[in-house]
Amino acid sequence: MTAETFTAVVRPASTFSLKKYPRGSAPIGSAGATALAALTASSTVQEALDILSVSTKSDYVVDSDSMGRATHVDA
C-alpha cells in the first residue's frame, strides 16, 4: 500500500463571524490594531474588512504539516 501526497490548497479567509470556531478568535495583532485605529468616519466597510482579512489570513497558515493552529508530525 502506498500513500498519496497532495498539494495544499489555500483558500481565502472569509470568516467574519463572532463565533469562535469559524476563526472569530483570530488575534488582531499590533499592526491590525493600529490600522483599525486609523479608520475614520469616512472609511469604508471594505477597508475595515481588508484589515480583518489580513489578521485572519496570518492566523490561518496552511503548510505541508499544518492547517491553521493544527499540526501533524509523522512518527
C-alpha cell at 5: 501526497
Exposed/middle/buried for residue 42 (C-beta within 10 Å: 0-12, 13-18, 19+): exposed
Model confidence, pTM = 0.57
Amino acid at 41: A
Residue 71: CA count within 13 A, CB half-sphere: 3
* 35-66 confidence digits (pLDDT tens): 999 999 999 888 888 888 888 877 777 777 77
For the chain, domain boundaries: 20-58
As beta bridge partners, residue 63 has 66
Indicate the pLDDT class of residue 17, thresholds 50, 70 and 90.
Answer: low
3-class DSSP state of 70: strand
> What is the model's pLDDT at position 36?
93
34 vs 51: CA distance, rounded Å: 10
